[in-house]
Structure 1
């Protein structure tokens, strides 16, 4: 029996949009994963405070995922005190799935460029593989601290990555690359402009019914 293949896709999801969800589905397919845990951050250490409560962002995420096979709205960072450190979340997932599970942390290219500034960045590789979801034009040289951190870790494809439980780095170009921005969604909502086809219908309906992201 093959070890489970599991990914963590964290973020503020402020709010979750179709770009987040499509990326999760394509990640599931590209790496032949059993499950993608989408984990809203309670207190993101390197970002400003999200506009709505963690509980509301989780509720929106659950609505967005609906019954999509393989995607899970994971509340574990909301259940911990203090900042939402990815290393702690990965440690929890590693304990849940076991030492031989192929555990992946997926992140976007912009977040990857700041990885050396994260809490315990070396520990991330001890617990999981990192998969960087690339965007067009993202081939500039890495900052020196990041280059040193990832030296010797990069592999050429998913199967090479999955030979081991953790420790590798894969840059992955997903097929769709939907250019949806949560910042732009919030701007549109604040100015009462349409967000149709940027959000799942159930997410849009809850945002409107609860008057979320309106100018205060």
Structure 2
């Protein structure tokens, strides 16, 4: 069977890249582009969390973070600013978001939940973690400065799930784990961006120009 025939048989390839995006920066966006390339994805849905269950409440309202994300993505092929978590009440559980994506792409579509190593280390504490693997694959994006080992509960959750390549991952619709090292390892953090904005320092080349312009014009993240 040719590669084209295999893609028709397996269906669409979609990734969910969630987060607070508080604010979105070039590290987020470059990771999304390289994730799409590395896994041969049709789309990467970048989904701002309205109420992240395991993180502090974001400084900026979700609608504004979504606007910034749309500005950051612009016309980048294959990246989607997805508002679905903003339309739900209550905590932004990833399992609920994955369920809606799975419904949209069908049983044979390849669905990936991508996350950074820091979030990955807390995966066993997430809401219904076993259900995550029933709905999707998990791809851990290697990030500079994050090398801690998994806890015992996380090791149990991940038992026999890890594969060594994107090809092996995409052989099935869901259930696998892949650690992915992206070509561009951008050590940019939203915490760093917020701190610089609060102190009135430059964030040039840490953010897309359209995002920087809106942040500065509206005084977002500035200390009052």
TM-score range, shorter chain: over 0.9
**CA distance in 2: counterparts of 1:70 and 1:19, whole angstroms:** 17
1:101 to 98, 109, 113: 109
Which protein is richer in helix relative to its size?
2
Cα gap change, 1:144 to 1:54, in 2 (>3 Å): same
Q: Is the 8 A contact 2:143 2:187 kept in 1?
A: no
Matches within 5 A, 1:80-119: 80-119=88-127
| Count of residues in Structure 1 that have an aligned counterpart in Structure 2 | 216
Which 4+ runs in 1 deviate beyond 4 A? Answer: 136-140
| Alignment partner, residue 201 of structure 2 | 193
The secondary structure found in structure 2 opposite 1:90 is: helix
Shift of 1:24: 0.1
Match of 2:65 in 1: 57
The Cα shift of 1:177 comes to 1.1
Relative to the length of structure 1, the TM-score reads 0.98
Q: CA RMSD in A?
A: 0.9
Task: Note the residue ranges of structure 2 that are not aligned, 5 or more in a row.
Answer: 1-7
Partner residue in 1 for 2:158: 150
* Equivalent-residue separation in structure 2 for 1:181 and 1:137 (angstroms): 11
Query: Does the C-alpha gap of structure 1 residues 45 and 4 become closer, same or farther in structure 2, counting only changes over 3 Å?
Result: same
**1:210: Cα distance to partner?**
1.1
Aligned to 1:44: 52
1:209 deviates by 1.0
CA offsets 1:170-209 (integer angstroms, 9 cap, x no match)? 0000010100010010000001000000000000000011
Q: Which digits, 9 at most, give the CA deviation of each residue in 1:47-102, with x for residues without a partner?
A: 00100000000000000000000000000000000000000000000001111000
Q: Separation in 1 of the partners of 2:217 and 2:186?
A: 26
- Please state whether the residue corresponding to 1:33 is helix, strand or coil: coil
Return the offset for 1:135. Answer: 2.6
Residue-by-residue CA offset, 1:2-36 (whole Å, 9 max, x unaligned): 41000000000000000000000000000000000
Task: State the SS of the aligned residue for 1:77.
Answer: helix
Residue number in structure 1 paired with 2:183: 175
Partner SS, residue 166 of structure 1? coil
